[in-house]
Amino acid sequence: MEPPKITIITCTLNSAAHLTETIESVKKQSYQNFEHLFIDGGSSDQTIEIIKSFYLKPRLIIKQKNGAYDAFNKGIESATGQVIGFLHSDDVLFDNQALERIASAFSNQEIDYYCSRMLIYDKDLKSSFAILGASPHHQSFKDQLYSSTYFAHPTYYCKKEIIQKVGKFNTKYQIAADIDWLYRLEKISDSFFFDPKPLVKFRGEGGLSANRYFTGLKEEFKIRIKNEGAGFVLITIYGYHLMRRLIRFTLETIKLNKAIGFFRKIIIKLA
């Protein structure tokens, strides 16, 4: 394959706080055969002005606020690149060679998709406290205790024709439609390149509310039962993550956030 044009889709909604860092990480890439496509849900802050300050003629689509996965679908429909991926509006590419590595993988091998790891950072992107991403089809029991699915969907860059075969994100899922989509991708293709070098710095310190987290865990559980069946190992994994998150929310409620950091370090060492 010739060096591909890469479409990076960034979905925004009042994303001004960190969007400058996100766009700068794209603009600094050594590989410049890309388009940066923005799908905005109707921002009322400085989001649109920031986008226009970086791109004279931005590829910007403003749509109704129908959720992130509907925006993902709109981005896929509008992408013109041969390879398509997503970069969240508060995350950044790991280094200036990130797109170079993606393009090289597609240029030098017959693959349908590229995937990698992402480091999870505090809100200032100064200290990483976790890493996600494993080679598709090879998530170990230990991996899944570390994270319930271990997918790192912002590191997946896929050929457009493969995305069309997989189909759209299922918007009936509020939080875990990416997990459902990646299971479908793995079912139709074993042709991939897994890069052990991280691709994305993910701003994860803010975290989900308790309600959204448990909704997401429930959705993941349903998706995995649909794909794998309700075995003892799967039930054990999700029981563990339910207990782990209940402990975290309890510690946050009683203002013992330092204890969260202590337990997080233990989990990382065990992983």
State residue 40's pLDDT score.
Answer: 96
State residue 117's pLDDT score.
Answer: 93
pLDDT tens-digit readout, 100-140: 999 999 999 999 999 999 999 888 898 888 888 888 866 77
pLDDT tens-digit readout, 51-94: 999 998 899 999 877 889 999 999 999 999 999 999 999 999 99
State residue 259's pLDDT score.
Answer: 55
Report the distance separating Cα 202 and Cα 123, nearest Å. 9
pLDDT tens-digit readout, 7-51: 999 999 999 999 999 999 999 999 999 999 999 999 999 999 999
State residue 65's pLDDT score.
Answer: 79
Which residues lie across from 9 on neighbouring strands? 37, 86
Name the one residue in this structure whose structure tokens are 């995995």: 224
As a whole number, the mean pLDDT across the chain is: 88
Neighbour count for residue 141 (Cβ, 10 Å): 10
Amino acid at 12: T
Give residue 208's pLDDT band: very low, low, confident or very high (50, 70, 90). Answer: low
Helix (H) or strand (E) holding 159, with range, is strand 157-159
Reduce the secondary structure of 123-138 to three states and give it as a string. Answer: CCCCCEEEEECCCCCC
Name the one residue in this structure whose structure tokens are 């004279």: 56
Structure tokens at 211: 């309600």
Report the distance separating Cα 89 and Cα 17, nearest Å. 9
State residue 97's pLDDT score.
Answer: 98
